[in-house]
Structures are given as C-alpha cells and as structure tokens.
Structure 1
Amino acid sequence: MLANLNYVLADAQKKGYAVPAFDCVEDFMVRTILETAEAKNSPVILMSLRHDLEEGKGFEYISGLINTVAPAYDIPIVYHLDHAEDFDFIKKAIDMGFTSVMYDGSKLPFEENVKNTRQVVEYAHKRGVSVEAELGHVGGMNLDGSKEGDSQLTEASDVKRFIEETNVDALAISIGTAHGVYEAEPVLNIERLKEIREITDVPLVLHGGSGTPLDQVQETIKNGITKINIFADLRIAMYKGLLEAAEKAEAADRDDPTPDVLFAPIKNSLGKVVGKKIEQLYANDRV
C-alpha cells in the first residue's frame, strides 16, 4: 500500500529502526525490491531521481508502474522524489502520484533554503504529500562519476530555526557520509548527530548509506536516524549479477537466453543486497 514518510518514519522513530530508501529505475528493480521487502515484512521507500524521470517517458513509466503495483503489496510503500531542486518539477512529481518529495536546497544560503523549502511544504501538505529537506550538504560523486563537491556538516545551531520556519516532515543531515562509492572509509560525526537529535524530534535522514561501515550505520540508528538512502550498493550488486548472467549465457553456448534466465542472476544479486540492508537497519518484521 502507498504511504508517505510521516506514516513509516513515526513507527521507525518509536521502535528504533531505520526504513531503507532505495533508488530504483527499471521494473525489475521495483519488483525485486518490493518482493524482498514484503518477504522481510519491512516498510520500504522507493525513490526516483530527476535523471531517470526525464529520460524518455521515465515519469510516466516509473511512477505509473509503482502506483499500479503498490496496492498489491501488504507493506507500507513510500514513493519518494529524491534530490529535487526545482519547484515546478516537484509539483509535477506530486501530480504524477509521488507520496513524498525531497527538496534539496543544501547548496543555497540558509535563508534561501528556508524560503524554498517552506514553499514546497505548503504545496505538498495540501495534497497529503510529505517533504524531506536537507540542511548541511552531503557531497561525493554524481551519477556520471564526476565529483559533486565536499560535504558540509550540518550546524546544530541552525536546525531548530530551520524546522520551525519550514514545517518540514523529515530532515536530511550531513554528518560525514558521501554519495556514491567512497574513496576512503568515512568516520561519521556521531556527536553532531546527538546534538541535532536533542534539538528536534523531527525524523532524521542519512544520505550516502552505501559503503558506510555497518557499525557506524547502526550507531546512527541508535541515535535517531530513521531513513537511510541506498543506491550505489544496488548498482554494484546489479553489475555483479550482470557479469554472472553473461558467464552463464556463454557457458550454455546460447545467444538467445530467455529473459527470465538472463535476468535471474541480476535479480538474485540485487535481492540479496536489499534483504541484507533491511536486516542491518533493523527494519525486518516491522509490518
């Protein structure tokens, strides 16, 4: 069933777990993630990026697929727009059936971030859609492999005012993670997270969950993180599955493997990672 962030993160905050948020593109990703989450009795957040929604009929295809299949599953499913910076694009996503959106004004001056976030919140809340914003900035790697820029830690002193002036539903904070594949092992600033947690009871979000050492990830959950974004680890899993599929096709000496045989190693590799992430975030058996 479709839900918004307020529905799933309230339970996660109360019971001390984090809801996994997976960026997904094609139908086999959506199906594998949802089937695995349902098998694990876990709520799940499916996320889409502008990069994929604007390609061809991506908006119609991906949002149409998720809105059609979600009611068939007996778990809460949030359909979330990830890292959007344009108000008109966010409005289109809401019109296309997204139940949650993220406005990312993290590169902007504080006042402008507040102003724009508040505008998104006012529009979204009237339509029952939840809003995530970002304070501080999580850098790392862009999807094309270019460097996004350095991360800027969230200033705890800014949090209270930001939340009061925007009425945002969830807040992504920067405590040392990065997007993409890490060039060096991160060391998260758990003390900064504790400071922020003391200031607000709004659900907190951790971006850059792929590749972050498990002990540090679980420490963030113990200190208030309720949503963790994951994408790079999924891409790595699919690539490994793709290599296995190619090897099996070559071993079978067949140029025309059926789609189920061709995609099976990719789906299996992806499903294993999704299931493992769900368990590591303590999200299994929560439905």
Structure 2
Amino acid sequence: MLKNLNDVLRDAKDKCYAVPAFDCVEDIMIRCILDTSEEEKSPVILMALEHNLKGRSMDYISGFIKFAAELYRIPVVLHLDHATNLDLIESAIDHGFTSVMYDGSSLPFDDNVKITRDVVEMAHRKGVSVEAELGHVGGFTIDGKSEESKLTDPDEVVKFVSETNVDALAVSIGTTHGVYISEPNLNIKRLSEIRERCSVPLVLHGGSGTPVEQVQNAVKHGITKVNLYADLRIAMNNGLKEAASKIKRIDPYPDEMFAPMKKLLSNVIRDKIRMLNSNNRIEYIK
C-alpha cells in the first residue's frame, strides 16, 4: 500500500528504529525489495534518482511501483531522491510519487530555505511529503565527481525547519555517498545536538558501507530513515559474476541468469532491514 514519509516515519521516531530507503531501478530490484520487505514485515521506501527518470523512465518506475505496492500489505513510500530540478519534482508529484526530496544543500542557507519552502507548498497541496538536506553529504556522485561534506550546523536546524515546514531532514554527520575509501567515524555528538533542536524525523544519507554498529548508534540517537544504494549495486554485480561463472548454455534460462543476483540482493536487503530494526513493524503503522 502506498504511503508518504509522515505515515511511516512517525512510528519509527516514536519507537526508535529506522525505515530503510533503497534507490532502485528496473523490476528485479523493485521486486526483490518488496518481496523481502514483506517477508520481514517492514515498511520500506523505494527511491528514484533524477538521472534514472529520463525519457519514459518516469512513467515506467512510477507506474510499476504504484501498481506493485497495492499487491503488498506493507507500507510503501514512492520517493524522489536528491532532486534539484523543480520541473522534475512537479512531474514526480503529478506521476504519483508520495514523497519528494529537494536537495538545496549546496546552496547558501537562505536560498535553500526559500526554494525548499516553495517545494513544500507545492507538494503539500497534493498530500506529498518533503525531505530536505541541511549541511551537505559529499562523496562520489553517480557521474564520478567527488564532493566535500559539510556537517550540519545544529544552530541552523530550528530556523530551517520552522521556515520551510519540511516533513523530514537529511543531516550530515560524517557519512558519504558511494563506496568508502576509509572507514567513516560518525559524529554522534553532533547528531544528538541536532535531535534536541529538531522536531521532524532525521535522515541519514550514505548508509552503504557504514559499519553496522555506527548506523545502529545513529538510529539510537534519532535517525529514522537510512538511504542505501551502493551495497545493492555491489550485490547485483556479484550476482552477475556468479551467474556468468556457472552458465554453460549458450541460451541460458532466466533463472540461471538472475537467481544469483536475486539471492544476493535479497540477503543484503534483509540484513539492512534487521540492522535498522524495522522488521515486524507493520502492525503498528496505520
């Protein structure tokens, strides 16, 4: 069933767990995420990035997830991740996305506030929730560019949330996007200071590769949504390699090609759900 962020993050905030948010493309990823999440009785957030929604992909991904979500008993959020293009955000809302993220984290504070507020007003009119980012989570982007991180300033949080009316806030506390070059060290003290000042659910980007104990400590101190993507891509790549090493036929059956990928992908999804303690939660979400 389709929900928005407010429907799933309130319970997570109250009960101190986090909801997994998986960036996904194509039906294999979507089905593995939904099947595994239902097996684990976990709410789930399915996300799409700007560059994955070009051409007919907006229609395909939104249509596929909207249809599939109604086949499952778990709450499913259809979320636009890291969008900076306002036309794309409006299009996503029109296509049935139940949640959007406007990422103004590279802009000056006042500009981030102004544009985020405009997005919130547009989205809330359609019952769509909005996530924003304050501070900046760096790392390697999809196109290979490297960006520096900037930790979220706790003193800016109250003003930002008050002036934008966002539903969730992504914060920068030491994670990065992509694959880590060295092990991160999350700033839990900074997170606690933000939590004390912030009334809305907090989001951790760059969850892939972050040590489990650090993620769980962040959840303990207020994180209610964790974004994950690179670990899923790694699992799929390993599944492809395993299939290629075993296939002997020149015309392999689909199960031979996709079964290893599905198995490894589902294992990662299940591990992330249990890491965030979001399994066995759907009975509490109205």
TM over 0.5, yes or no?
yes
Aligned partner of residue 92 in structure 1, secondary structure = helix
Aligned partner of 2:242 in structure 1 is 244
Aligned partner of 2:210 in structure 1 is 212
1:1-287 alignment to 2 at 5 Å?
1-54=1-54, 56-147=55-146, 149-249=147-247, 253-287=248-282
Q: Letter of the aligned partner of 1:213 in structure 2?
A: P
Superposition deviation, residue 88 in structure 1: 1.0
User: How much is the aligned-residue C-alpha RMSD, in angstroms?
Assistant: 0.7
Q: What's the CA shift string for 1:31-56, capped at 9, x where partnerless?
A: 000000000000000000011111x4
**Which ranges in structure 2 are unaligned for 5 or more consecutive residues?**
none
Q: Letter of the aligned partner of 1:180 in structure 2?
A: G
How many angstroms apart in 1 are the aligned matches of 2:144 and 2:250?
A: 32
Superposition deviation, residue 113 in structure 1: 0.2
Q: What's the CA shift string for 1:179-208, capped at 9, x where partnerless?
A: 000011110100000000000221000000
How many angstroms apart in 1 are the aligned matches of 2:143 and 2:124?
A: 33
Aligned partner of residue 238 in structure 2, secondary structure = helix
- Structure 1 length-normalised TM: 0.97
Superposition deviation, residue 143 in structure 1: 1.1
Superposition deviation, residue 145 in structure 1: 2.5
Aligned partner of residue 72 in structure 1, secondary structure = coil
How many angstroms apart in 1 are the aligned matches of 2:125 and 2:196?
A: 29
How many angstroms apart in 2 are the aligned matches of 1:3 and 1:122?
A: 19
List 4+ stretches of structure 1 deviating above 6 A.
none
Deviates more, 1:257-266 or 1:111-120: 257-266
**Which ranges in structure 1 are unaligned for 5 or more consecutive residues?**
none
Superposition deviation, residue 86 in structure 1: 1.3
Q: What's the CA shift string for 1:211-253, capped at 9, x where partnerless?
A: 001111000000000000000000000000000110111xxx2
Q: Letter of the aligned partner of 1:21 in structure 2?
A: A
Percent identical residues: 63
Q: Letter of the aligned partner of 2:41 in structure 1?
A: N
**Between Structure 1 and Structure 2, how many residues are aligned?**
282
